[in-house]
């Protein structure tokens, strides 16, 4: 791995101190926040310092957290130029103090901007290696000239970039990141929480449905690229083949009113159930309740799905998945094993795939595959292997 190859050591003898700079960390909602929390709590203890945002519920979350968590006000101010200037300053000075005060062996950045650029400054000042996570969508959507140049500069100067999928790895190569500095580590899933056999009868009662009603489930931020609108457009065709089917959407976002209007236009309002956010402890039961999990994602003005942790969660519960072919979903969905991928732009393909999966639900053979390849213990093992680069 380039200049850090000579620093390979016995990972059993050295317990590395890490600085992790990430705005996204639990209890913030979203797959990235879950990823970082799950990995670093398993990777070590108080020697791992997390610099992150102060969000509602942080006190309760951090009280028993095994890592040392530093919470900051990371608000953006519209009257500043750039708006994120205060965020950069707070991240930088706090990170600088931590590396000066504690025995830190490497700096990890949850995203390329702002965390990666801040991490680069700190890492170079203290001669520490920098590891930056790449998620995919930032590469395809950030097109403001200054922001794009800062992103490319940071990726190219990081000592290691973690790509969450083959799609993201290819995008990094197109930016000029050398192959030797890219490692693919996909996120994982808690296979103890997300598993088959959880009780669901009360969930059907809540919807006023019989417990054998076929359900299509979608989970995620309500944004256009997720393809929830395409599922709604496909519902009339699906209902012709399977008249009892219902569609459940878990999540919030800017497209909520748009999706509700679309359901009305398609005449399927009574078949679409918007649940909003559900408690974390309840989410695995909703996966168990469904017959098919659907997120036929598609590219919208460069906005892509970089991976899709929800596919792993559904597969871990033994449910077949419908994904779009755009972006990095090929790493999250194993074709004809954990589900199928279609062109999310084409409603007819979405409809036919849903019908096929609803008629043959035994295609969801994902539990064993996910348990073997995507458990958090496996992801932590891959991340720990990077000690051979970041430890000195």
Contact 243, 218 (CB under 8 A): no
Tokens of 196: 């088959």
Q: Concatenated DSSP letters for 55-89?
A: -TTHHHHHHT-SSEEEEE-----TTSSSTTHHHHH
pLDDT means over runs of 10, the chain (392 residues): 38 68 94 96 96 97 97 89 88 97 96 97 97 94 91 98 96 97 96 95 97 97 96 98 98 96 98 95 97 96 90 95 94 90 98 94 71 92 80 48
Rounded Cα distance between 285 and 202, Å, is: 10
Rounded Cα distance between 342 and 344, Å, is: 6
For residue 246, which phi and psi values (nearest 5 degrees)? -130, 160
Nearest Cα residue to 223 out of 137, 292, 98, 165: 137
Rounded Cα distance between 199 and 284, Å, is: 10
pLDDT of 334: 87
Place of tokens 């430890």: 391
pTM: 0.88
Q: Which residues pair with 342 in a beta bridge?
A: 324
Place of tokens 């979903």: 329
Contact 68, 95 (CB under 8 A): no
Nearest Cα residue to 270 out of 335, 203, 207: 207
Q: What distance lies between CA 318 and its chain's CA centroid?
A: 20
Domains present along the chain, CATH in parentheses? 2-188+375-390 (3.40.50.2000), 201-373 (3.40.50.2000)
- DSSP H or E segment with residue 216: strand 215-219
Rounded Cα distance between 343 and 253, Å, is: 23
Contact 363, 335 (CB under 8 A): no
* Sequence-distant contacts of 9-12: CB under 8 A, at least 24 apart: 9/387, 9/388, 9/391, 11/384, 11/385, 11/387, 11/388, 11/391
pLDDT of 351: 98
Rounded Cα distance between 121 and 72, Å, is: 19
Alpha helices in the chain (DSSP H): 31-43, 58-63, 85-101, 117-126, 137-141, 145-157, 166-174, 201-207, 228-241, 256-265, 283-289, 309-316, 329-332, 347-359, 366-373, 376-384, 387-390
């Amino acid at each position: 791995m380039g200049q850090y190859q000579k620093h390979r050591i016995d990972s059993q003898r050295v317990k590395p101190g890490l600085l992790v700079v990430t705005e996204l960390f639990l209890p913030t909602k979203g797959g990235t926040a879950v990823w970082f929390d799950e990995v670093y709590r398993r990777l070590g203890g108080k020697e791992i310092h997390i610099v992150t945002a102060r969000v509602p519920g942080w006190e309760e979350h951090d009280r028993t957290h095994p890592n040392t968590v530093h919470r900051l006000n990371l608000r953006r101010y519209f009257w500043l130029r750039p708006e994120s200037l205060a965020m950069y300053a707070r991240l930088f000075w706090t990170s600088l103090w931590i590396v000066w005060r504690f025995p830190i062996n490497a700096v990890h950045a949850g995203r390329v901007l702002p965390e990666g650029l801040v991490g680069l400054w700190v890492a170079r000042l203290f001669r520490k290696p920098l590891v930056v996570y790449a998620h995919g969508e930032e590469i395809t959507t950030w097109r403001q000239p200054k922001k794009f140049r800062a992103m490319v500069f940071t990726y190219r100067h990081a000592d290691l970039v973690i790509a969450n999928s083959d799609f993201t790895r290819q995008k990094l190569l197109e930016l000029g990141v050398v192959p030797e500095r890219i490692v693919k580590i996909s996120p994982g899933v808690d296979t103890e929480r997300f598993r088959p056999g959880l009780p669901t009868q009360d969930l059907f009662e809540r919807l006023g449905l019989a417990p054998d009603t076929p359900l299509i489930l979608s989970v995620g931020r309500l944004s256009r690229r997720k393809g929830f609108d395409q599922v709604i457009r496909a519902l009339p065709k699906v209902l012709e083949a399977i008249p009892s089917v219902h569609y459940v959407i878990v999540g919030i976002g800017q497209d909520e009113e748009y999706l509700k209007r679309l359901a009305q236009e398609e005449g399927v309002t009574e078949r679409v159930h918007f649940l909003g956010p559900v408690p974390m402890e309840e989410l695995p039961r909703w996966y168990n309740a469904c017959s098919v999990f659907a997120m036929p994602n598609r590219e919208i003005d460069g906005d892509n799905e970089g991976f899709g942790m929800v596919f792993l969660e559904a597969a871990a519960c033994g449910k077949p998945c419908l994904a779009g072919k755009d972006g990095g979903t090929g790493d999250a969905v194993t074709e004809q094993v954990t589900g199928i991928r279609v062109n999310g732009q084409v409603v007819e393909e979405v409809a036919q795939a849903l019908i096929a999966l609803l008629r043959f639900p035994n295609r969801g053979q994902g539990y064993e595959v996910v348990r073997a390849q995507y458990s958090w213990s496996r992801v932590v093992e891959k991340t720990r292997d990077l000690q051979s680069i970041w430890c000195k």
